[in-house]
């Protein structure tokens, strides 16, 4: 089978290989391509530090790949800190390797950041107080909400007064005073205004960051680094723009230089992407198990649901799809299957368990080659916020994950079993 897959799928994702993976590991199955991740890292090398927002894809083997590439890591929970440690971060006693970003510190996480001396990126003054009492001298960043934000959905906009994230910009002075009172060590200022950001506003963001550095300097604080946060998008639909990382860096570099001039010394510039580094490296492989007609709508039912990929149900997100017919009849020179508009839906007992939907849950039909039972379907660009947002809803075990590196492949997470789920309930 030589059918090319739609969109910019990794070159390792050939129909023959994906079919063999489905046969070997079963479906639903997450598949990642290591070279795609490496090439996205390479496109951001101009930044002094790349910090992977692991919430996008927190498998320890993906974290190890990041570490091998010199990428640092962001953690947002105790679990993510422990994952980063398991992947070898902080092993070289470089306290800059893991940064814990949050708006609160639960007691267990506070103990963990103190024990492992993980730098804390504080989104509230209460965090600074609690950390300062437990660990005077601890390294901190201040995450500032500049009063505006953007995202691909309201749910991923992390700036402005409707967002719970970050220290409100007018509280910077109070936050700095808290840092000083506890003798905390201020590393830098951080801003992440949303995921899937509209770059028309980037100069506004950079300007806000320079203003914050100015304010910190005027209050007698030194700043060693600034973080541009994450938010870089990827083209989920054919024809959507590919981000110009050189231009993106250029705007931030200019802001860094302006801030450095204020401080009178050099300043490190870091970036904290999640989606950009991993989204295009991943696909969700699922098997067609039923097809049917309901009035005007045709349905293709697959064995993955929003328990695996939550994004369409949660945000109305679009993911390209490729059908991999079992009999290879979709080949360009073969006997192509007719295209048929269809709703692609999963096995969950929820009407919203539909992969082809718009914002607000409107069910949409997608033009795909006509699917038959036992065909495979690849859902593209699911490397970010795919497996990491999966759940056990409907008592479905988490799916397995496989990492392809050139010709080699590795099972990087076993499929969970129902027995493992039940074991937690002390039968």
Interacting residues with ligand LLP (CB under 6 A) = 53, 56, 74, 101, 156, 158, 192, 195, 229-232, 272-276, 311, 315, 384-385
For 425, the token pair is 């309930």
Active-site residue among 6, 57, 206, 349?
A: 349
Which DSSP category does 240 fall into? P
Q: Are 77 and 98 in contact (CB under 8 A)?
A: no
How many other CB atoms are there within 10 angstroms of residue 171's CB atom? 17
Which DSSP category does 5 fall into? P
Please tell me whether 194 is known to bind a ligand. no
Cis peptide before 187 (omega within 30 of 0): no
- For 6, phi then psi, to 5°, come to -70, 165
Q: How far is the CB of 229 from ligand LLP (least distance, A)?
A: 5
Please tell me whether 274 is known to bind a ligand. yes
For 195, the token pair is 């995921």
Nearer to ligand LLP, 370 or 381 (CB): 381
Nearer to ligand LLP, 182 or 190 (CB): 190
Nearer to ligand LLP, 311 or 380 (CB): 311
Nearer to ligand LLP, 192 or 256 (CB): 192
Indicate the Cα dihedral angle 212, 216, 218, 220, nearest 10°.
-170
Please tell me whether 231 is known to bind a ligand. yes
Please tell me whether 32 is known to bind a ligand. no
> Whose CB is nearest to ligand LLP?
230
Nearer to ligand LLP, 74 or 375 (CB): 74
Q: How far is the CB of 240 from ligand LLP (least distance, A)?
A: 14
Q: How far is the CB of 42 from ligand LLP (least distance, A)?
A: 17
Q: How many residues does the chain have?
A: 427
How many other CB atoms are there within 10 angstroms of residue 214's CB atom? 14
Please tell me whether 258 is known to bind a ligand. no
Please tell me whether 425 is known to bind a ligand. no
- Within 8 A by CB and 6+ apart from 284, the residues are 28, 29, 30, 31, 304, 308, 309, 378, 379, 382, 386, 399
Nearer to ligand LLP, 159 or 325 (CB): 159
Q: How far is the CB of 83 from ligand LLP (least distance, A)?
A: 16
For 359, the token pair is 């914002």
Please tell me whether 315 is known to bind a ligand. yes
Please tell me whether 273 is known to bind a ligand. yes
Place of tokens 């996008």: 56
SS3 category, 126:
helix
Active site residue 6: no
Q: How far is the CB of 282 from ligand LLP (least distance, A)?
A: 12
Q: How far is the CB of 150 from ligand LLP (least distance, A)?
A: 11
Q: How far is the CB of 359 from ligand LLP (least distance, A)?
A: 12
- Long-range contacts (CB closer than 8 Å, 24 or more residues apart) made by 149-153: 149/193, 149/194, 150/193, 150/194, 150/197, 150/198, 150/201, 150/231, 151/194, 151/195, 151/196, 151/197, 151/231, 152/195, 152/196, 152/233, 152/315, 152/317, 153/196, 153/315, 153/316, 153/317, 153/359
Nearer to ligand LLP, 40 or 256 (CB): 40
For 17, the token pair is 């290989």
* 392: Cα separation from own chain's centroid: 20
Place of tokens 């950390």: 131
Residues forming the active site: 349
Q: Binding site residues, as ranges?
A: 231, 272-275, 311, 315, 350, 385
Q: Binding site residues for substrate, as ranges?
A: 275, 311, 315, 350, 385
Q: Binding site residues for pyridoxal 5'-phosphate, as ranges?
A: 231, 272-275, 385
């Amino acid at each position: 089978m030589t059918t090319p897959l739609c969109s910019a799928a990794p070159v390792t994702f050939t129909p023959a290989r994906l079919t063999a993976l489905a046969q070997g590991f079963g479906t639903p199955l997450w598949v990642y391509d290591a070279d795609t991740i490496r090439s996205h890292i390479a496109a951001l090398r101009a930044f002094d530090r790349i910090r992977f927002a692991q919430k996008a894809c927190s498998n320890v083997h993906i974290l190890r790949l990041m570490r091998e590439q010199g990428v640092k890591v962001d953690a947002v929970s105790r679990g993510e800190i422990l994952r980063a440690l398991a992947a070898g971060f902080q092993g070289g006693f470089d306290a800059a390797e893991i940064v814990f970003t949050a708006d609160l510190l639960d007691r267990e996480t506070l103990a963990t950041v103190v024990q492992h001396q993980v730098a804390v990126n504080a989104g509230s003054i209460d965090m600074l107080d609690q950390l300062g009492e437990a660990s005077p001298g601890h390294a901190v960043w201040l995450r500032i909400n500049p009063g505006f934000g953007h995202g691909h959905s309201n749910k991923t906009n992390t700036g402005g007064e409707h967002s719970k994230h970050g220290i409100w910009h007018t509280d910077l002075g109070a936050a700095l005073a808290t840092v000083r009172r506890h003798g905390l060590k201020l590393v830098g200022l951080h801003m992440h205004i949303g995921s899937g950001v509209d770059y028309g506003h980037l100069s506004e963001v950079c300007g806000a960051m320079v203003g914050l550095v100015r304010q910190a300097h005027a209050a007698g604080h030194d700043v060693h680094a600034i973080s541009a946060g994450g938010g870089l998008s990827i083209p989920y639909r054919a024809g959507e723009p590919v981000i110009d990382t050189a231009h993106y860096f250029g705007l931030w570099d200019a802001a860094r230089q302006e801030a450095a001039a204020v401080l009178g010394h050099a300043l490190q510039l870091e970036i904290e992407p999640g989606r950009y580094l991993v989204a295009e490296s991943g696909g969700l492989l699922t098997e067609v198990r039923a097809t049917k007609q309901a009035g005007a709508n045709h349905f293709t039912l697959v064995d993955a649901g929003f328990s695996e990929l939550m994004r369409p149900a949660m945000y109305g997100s679009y993911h390209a799809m490729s059908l991999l017919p079992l009999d290879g009849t979709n080949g360009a020179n073969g006997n192509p299957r007719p295209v048929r508009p269809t709703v692609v839906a999963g096995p969950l007992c929820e009407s919203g368990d539909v992969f082809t939907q718009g914002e607000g849950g409107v069910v949409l039909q997608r033009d795909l080659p006509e699917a038959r039972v036992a065909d495979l379907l690849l859902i593209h660009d699911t490397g970010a916020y795919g497996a990491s947002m999966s759940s056990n809803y409907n008592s479905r075990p988490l799916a397995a994950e496989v990492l392809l590196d050139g010709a080699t492949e590795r099972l990087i997470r076993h499929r969970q079993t129902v027995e493992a789920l039940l074991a937690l309930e002390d039968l």
